[in-house]
Amino acid sequence: MGVVGRDKFLILPNDVKHAKDWDRFTVVKKFAPGLNAVAVPHVKPATLKDGLEARRKLHHDKIRTSKESEMIFKQLNKASCKTYLIGSENAKEVIVVDPLLEHVNEYVSLIKNEGLKLTHVLDTHTHADHISGAGALSDLTGAVYVMHQESPVRCVAFRVPDGFDCHLSDMPVKVMHTPGHTKDSMCLIFPDRILTGDTLFLDDGGAGRTDLPGGNPGEHWESLQKIMKLPDHLIVYPAHEYRGREPSRLGEQKKRNPNLQPRTKEAYVKWLTDMQLGAADWMKDVLKANYECTRDPKAAWIPVDAPACEIKGTMSPGVNELQVPVIPVTEVRRRIKDNQLEGTMILDVREPAELGGELGAIQDVINIPVGQVTQRLHELEKYKEKEIITVCRSGGRAHTVAAILLKAGFRKVFKMNGGMAAFREAEKTT
Ligand SMILES: [Fe+2]
């Protein structure tokens, strides 16, 4: 390992197939111990002043990041998944963040037509809602595929640790590990902006859900505390925007994003746990395809532009906005007591293990976890004209399933208000 100046290193992992492309990657030694490295000239990082200058031209594709170079910054997709092209106008080199496999050929054409060279392709985390195009882009261009070191994706060429402080082309960028949505989630911090992946969305979009494989509400709270300490001037660019909200300063997000409001870790975990839906089966298929680095865009069925990664993410756009009829727990309890539930189906949409947990379950329920409902609708056909009461822990998942059933033509659907938590509370008072 060679040293440049006091503590600057170039990392060249042994197994990186495009090692020549790493000649612009400098890292601070303490964040990357034990890796093979060779000496390179250190590039002076941009200053905060440079970042402020850049912010003034936020709405342009090309903005000035320093006196010497212009930054290229462009969001490439029309749909709610966001892919960012970022680079240096002077060096004519770019990186792509969170590419979609279905658009890879378009990205390659754009980069080629602009006379640019793609040096690195990054995923902010392992995606569960779309198939990543990073592996294919790497194949087509020789760009190095970079993810956080916790990434389970097999074809990643270089895995970065928390605090990785580097230059991509001549752009300074720092990696911040922000688990919670997934174990491998990371934010990319540039002098004037932050790519937050699914760790933080915009405004009332809140943040990415924490109930997918690898998700953890407590870790997410800790990651958000790290984001709260970052400067207010950074512009937030998330990996998803489902409602056409515009990127804005982190300072504004601190004031109005519901996930950034002051809460104890315990309160945050409870708040999110009450909204957990669990991964839909198709999302598990997408994750598997991404672990395997598929180059097949049809490797998993994916609903069109569903807001699947937001909290209360659904299989179907608009489902969470639908009003559904409710039935109070007291009424359900009265009907159980008076034997008046004949002809009514109680559909418990929690995970099977929850039915054996502390809240237990109502007798004779049918259990289909929320994530499987859309693919198992045929099992419910015989109840289409009958009364269905959906049940979960506190009402969130039951609401989603009731809305899905109503949209699918089921006529008499109610959600049990307050879920099993309220059902057990009522037990104490009756
Ligand atoms: Fe995600």
Residue that the structure tokens 């990434």 belong to = 151
pLDDT of residue 412: 94
- Cα 239 to middle of ligand 1, angstroms: 8
- Cα 315 to middle of ligand 1, angstroms: 14
pLDDT of residue 310: 64
Give the pLDDT of the chain (430 residues) as one tens digit per residue. 222 222 222 333 333 333 333 333 333 223 333 332 322 223 333 333 443 343 333 333 333 344 445 789 999 998 889 999 999 888 899 999 999 999 999 999 999 999 999 999 999 999 998 999 999 999 999 999 999 999 999 999 999 999 998 887 678 899 999 999 999 999 999 999 999 999 999 998 899 999 888 999 999 999 999 999 999 999 999 999 877 889 999 999 999 999 999 999 999 998 887 666 667 777 888 999 999 999 998 888 776 666 676 655 443 445 556 788 999 999 999 999 998 988 899 999 887 878 988 899 999 899 998 767 776 888 898 998 999 999 988 887 788 889 888 888 898 999 999 999 999 999 887 6
The type of residue at 316 is S
The type of residue at 360 is G
- Cα 32 to middle of ligand 1, angstroms: 26
- Cα 365 to middle of ligand 1, angstroms: 32
- Cα 406 to middle of ligand 1, angstroms: 27
3-state secondary structure of 17: coil
- Cα 208 to middle of ligand 1, angstroms: 6
Which of 19, 244, 282, 312 has its CA nearest to residue 129? 282
pLDDT of residue 54: 36
Q: Which residues contact 278 (CB under 8 A, 6 or more apart)?
A: 211, 351, 369, 370, 371, 397
- Cα 268 to middle of ligand 1, angstroms: 19
- Cα 198 to middle of ligand 1, angstroms: 5
pLDDT of residue 16: 33
Superfamily in which the 43-273 domain is placed by CATH: Ribonuclease Z/Hydroxyacylglutathione hydrolase-like (3.60.15.10)
pLDDT of residue 296: 92
How many CB atoms within 10 Å of residue 385?
9
- Domain map (residue ranges) of the chain: 43-273, 319-429
- Cα 211 to middle of ligand 1, angstroms: 11
- Cα 132 to middle of ligand 1, angstroms: 11
- Cα 72 to middle of ligand 1, angstroms: 25
- Cα 312 to middle of ligand 1, angstroms: 13
pLDDT of residue 350: 84
- Cα 303 to middle of ligand 1, angstroms: 15
Residue that the structure tokens 């937050």 belong to = 196
Which of 48, 324, 16, 38 has its CA nearest to residue 146? 16
Separation of alpha carbons 177 and 363, rounded Å: 44
Q: How far is CA 390 from CA 61, 154, 312, 345, 382, in A?
A: 48, 40, 16, 9, 16
- Residue 189: left if φ>0, alpha if ψ -120 to 50, beta else—which one? beta
Whether CATH 3.30.70.1060 fits 319-429: no
- Cα 382 to middle of ligand 1, angstroms: 35
- Cα 14 to middle of ligand 1, angstroms: 30
- Cα 309 to middle of ligand 1, angstroms: 5
CA-CA-CA-CA torsion sign (279, 396, 180, 356): negative
Q: How far is CA 385 from CA 156, 380, 381, 405, in A?
A: 51, 10, 9, 11
How many CB atoms within 10 Å of residue 347?
23
pLDDT of residue 52: 37
pLDDT of residue 70: 79
Q: How far is CA 344 from CA 197, 354, 370, 387, in A?
A: 43, 22, 19, 5
pLDDT of residue 212: 86
- Cα 326 to middle of ligand 1, angstroms: 31
43-273 against 319-429: fold identical: no
pTM over 0.85: no
Residue that the structure tokens 């198939």 belong to = 131
Q: Give the chain's largest Cα–Cα span.
A: 81
Where do runs of H (alpha helix) occur along 229-277? 250-256, 265-273
- Cα 310 to middle of ligand 1, angstroms: 8
